Amino acid sequence: MKTKNLILACLALLGLMVAACQKEQPTTPATGYTLDYTVDGAKTTVSVSGDEGMTQLLRQLNTFAREGHRVTVAQSGSSATAVPTKDVVTFSTQNEVEMLAWEAARLKENYQVTITFDSQTGTYTGTAVPLTLEPDQDPVIPTSLVGTEWIEHYEDSFTVLGTYYEFNTDTRLVFETDSTGNRCVHEYPTSTNPYDFDYPDRLPFTYTYDSVLGRCEWYNIPGNNTFVMDYNIELDAFVYISRHNDTSIYFRVK
């Protein structure tokens, strides 16, 4: 009898170990960025750790810009690895809430998700295949996006007319011109407050892409504050959210 109990205990332990091994495959964490930025022409090179560090830096530069200083930012080196390489990922569990959360997260990361449920064992198995986006592809809109009426497009710039944007996770702003394929990226501070998407805080503001200098500018219409960011600060692959004629505005929801 004792032997039988011991065998059962071993089997249970083995089951737990197998379940633990079935957890989602880990992804490569973000490393850091090395950036060159100038304030009124004075150049500084800085290493930023992770997205939070980047956000803080951009906040600081934003403050300089608002005070009337001319600010430029460019990525240097090749240390930026903001997003892990996407692979096919699998996940297995008997917990329906866990499975639902996993599926929702993968869908929002633009995976195609296949779920199978074995009614005999009560086990869910999920397989997520990454979808590759092409620059000329129509966008995927996160379900939290509230309308696109706030984008007004003309020539090589567009104006954001809304008062704020409502997202539920960190958000990164990207814009580009289709003719050159160059992209501008700006990351917004939203990690602590999901609705803290108020930069630039005076709306409306206008974005302009300078194809000669290869950079983007945006400024508040009522004021003279201009913020300039070189296009090569591109850090990421993008999820396209909205497009308008030849110029697209994108938000990446992490």
Residue 2, SS3 per DSSP? helix
What's the min distance (Å) between Cβ of 216 and other proteins?
24
On the CB side of 132, CA atoms within 13 Å amount to 4
Q: Which of 38/125 has CB closer to other proteins?
A: 125
- The secondary structure element, H or E, covering residue 181 is none
Nearest Cα to Cα of residue 173 among 156, 159, 187, 162: 187
For residues 159 and 175, what is the distance between their CA atoms, to the nearest angstrom?
A: 12
Contacts with 216 (C-beta within 8 Å, 6 or more apart), sequence order: 175, 184, 186, 207, 208, 209, 210, 228, 229, 231
> Does 178 engage in binding with other proteins (CB under 8 A)?
no
Query: Mask of contacts with other proteins, 59-98, x by CB under 8 A?
Result: -------------------------------------x--
> Does 5 engage in binding with other proteins (CB under 8 A)?
no
Query: Mask of contacts with other proteins, 195-234, x by CB under 8 A?
Result: ----------------------------------------
> Does 8 engage in binding with other proteins (CB under 8 A)?
no
Q: Residue 238 CB: number of other CB atoms within 10 A? A: 22
What's the min distance (Å) between Cβ of 87 and other proteins?
13
Q: Which of 56/168 has CB closer to other proteins?
A: 168
State which amino acid sits at residue 237: A
What's the min distance (Å) between Cβ of 217 and other proteins?
28
Q: Which of 16/104 has CB closer to other proteins?
A: 104
Among 39, 74, 113, 237, binds other proteins (CB under 8 A): 113
The sign of the dihedral angle between the CA atoms of 48, 52, 56, 59 is: positive
> Does 119 engage in binding with other proteins (CB under 8 A)?
yes
For residues 127 and 112, what is the distance between their CA atoms, to the nearest angstrom?
A: 8
> Does 139 engage in binding with other proteins (CB under 8 A)?
yes
Kindly list the residues in this chain that would bind other proteins in the complex (CB under 8 A). 96, 99-100, 103-104, 107, 110-120, 124-125, 127, 129, 131-134, 137-141, 143-144, 168, 239-240, 242
